[in-house]
Amino acid sequence: MATRSPIVMRDAVPEDAAELVALWAESAAVSDEEGAEAFSYQSLFREPTATEAESAIEQTLAKPGKRIIVALVEDEIVGATVCDLSTLTPITLTPILIVTDIQVSPRHRRRNVAATLLSAAATYGEENACEIVVAAIPLMAREPHRYLTKIGFTQVAAVRAIQASRLRSRLSSKATHSRDTGKLIAVRRTLRRRQDDRRSGRV
């Protein structure tokens, strides 16, 4: 019986950019094949250049409490996750760990890569006295959802996304039809009628 190669964990560095781009792209490509819900998430992903990814990694790692943990098998990055220290709400000091972007190469799924990543994340949370661990994953990722539920995670929030330009367009449309805006339009119309009446000599 062949033995599996050990999974090695370490912090990501900017020089990992090319491999991380390949990992994200590989995962996104699989998502694209999993149906309409998956495509809605995959469509948000734009594959960056290695140079852009390197700059993004540098910015991420420069933030206090932020880590990118990678999993390697035979020196190849096969998984990654992002850890962020935060508080439960902006008005409390309850420390929490937010785990996002759990990525595992489709070629290495069901080999305890995700479990090893989460174990490393949990250790990071414990080192910083985090009382709660929050994991954010795509809605369509059925297998990760099942796994997280199995080990005790419960659903506490929903994350929704929209293009910024589309949001602004929708909000501008709503604002145009708001009560205050309607009052302002009515006042302008009244003033315009009075000005027209004065010009015609009716007032």
Instruction: Judge contact between 12 and 57, C-beta under 8 A.
Output: yes
Strands 95-104 and 132-136: parallel
pLDDT value of position 72: 97
Which distant-in-sequence residues (6+ apart) come within 8 Å of 24 by Cβ? 45, 47, 103
pLDDT value of position 36: 45
The Cα 27–Cα 21 span in angstroms is: 10
Per-residue tokens: 7: 């999974």
Chain position carrying tokens 């709503």: 174
The Cα 68–Cα 118 span in angstroms is: 12
The Cα 55–Cα 46 span in angstroms is: 15
pLDDT value of position 162: 84
pLDDT value of position 197: 72
Chain position carrying tokens 């994953």: 137
Return the sign of the alpha-carbon dihedral for residues 103, 107, 109, 113.
Answer: negative
pLDDT value of position 157: 85
Q: Which residues of the chain have pLDDT under 50?
A: 1, 36-39, 203
Q: What is the pLDDT of residues 98-130, one digit of tens each?
A: 999 999 999 998 889 999 999 999 999 999 999
pTM of structure? 0.78
pLDDT value of position 105: 93
Q: Phi first, then psi: give them for residue 80, nearest 5 degrees.
A: -160, 155
Instruction: Judge contact between 79 and 91, C-beta under 8 A.
Output: no
Q: What is the pLDDT of residues 145-169, one digit of tens each?
A: 888 999 999 988 888 888 888 898 8
pLDDT value of position 55: 98
The Cα 85–Cα 96 span in angstroms is: 6
